[in-house]
Amino acid sequence: MIARLKGLVDSIATDSAVIDVNGVGYLVHAPRRTLDHLAIGQPAALHIETHVREDHIHLYGFIDAEQRTWFRRLTTVQGVGAKVALAILSVAEPEALLLAILAQDKAALVRADGVGPKLAARILAELKDRIDAPQAVPTAAAAASVNGAKPGSVPAGVPAAAAARDDAISALVNLGYERSEAFAAVTRCQAELGGEAEVGELLRTALKGLAR
């Protein structure tokens, strides 16, 4: 089983690249965001997911282990094969995917080729359950801190705090912001201001942050 390839980039196509490893060319399918890091004739080191079937062996390559983890996670969803998973990773980085799932933002996924509203809804529903499990990806508070907030407690389980957060997110969406963007902004503000912050305060602070 191939887990990593290190060699020279021989060629780059729309959705794949050939990596020359000691004279052997390996065809590696990859998302656009990985291919954009490659240059013909230059060294490359890719994390590999190997799919073995009766009629073929396919290699899928990623610029880092996090992309590969999300590829594996996406392909566990019914109706999401390797091609669709690569398409999703071509339009969204792992951090953006995490925020889209936490925010239940279908629009962030339907930009990918082969993903319609129904499939996007299924991906969001199935993966939201999984990332809430122990030892899963970061919580909403951690996701917000990645984008610049100070570490804090986001009391999503407190009804009043959750309601204020959801109302502020809805207000931003109505103003034309994408749901994932609104979710990240309000989550950052709630982490900074605390669980007692009301809708108006969250909204004003979030708008200031988005304006910057």
66 or 176: which leads in pLDDT: 66
Q: Which residues contact 111 (CB under 8 A, 6 or more apart)?
A: 91, 92
Q: Is there a contact between 133 and 123 (Cβ–Cβ < 8 Å)?
A: no
Q: In this structure, which CATH number among 1.10.150.20, 3.40.1180.10, 1.10.472.50, 2.130.10.10 belongs to the domain 68-131?
A: 1.10.150.20
> What's the fold here for domain 4-63?
OB fold (Dihydrolipoamide Acetyltransferase, E2P) (2.40.50)
**CB neighbours of 49 closer than 8 A, spacing ≥ 6?**
59, 60, 61, 62, 68, 71, 72
Domain assignments of the chain as residue spans, ordered by start:
4-63, 68-131, 140-211
Residues 6+ apart with CB under 8 A from 13: none
| 92-145 pLDDT per residue, tens | 988 889 888 888 889 889 999 999 999 999 999 999 887 753 333 334 444 444
Q: What is the mean pLDDT of the chain?
A: 84
- What's the pLDDT tens digit per position in 38-85? 999 999 999 999 999 888 899 999 999 999 999 999 999 999 999 999
**In the numeric block, which tokens belong to residue 99?**
């925020």
CA 62-65-71 angle, 5° bins: 60
Same fold, 4-63 and 68-131: no
Nearest residue to 71 via CA among 56, 86, 57? 86
158 — pLDDT class (breaks 50, 70, 90)? low
The predicted model scores a pTM of: 0.73
pLDDT at 155 (0 to 100): 45
Distance CA 206, CA 40 (A): 43
Distance CA 89, CA 67 (A): 7
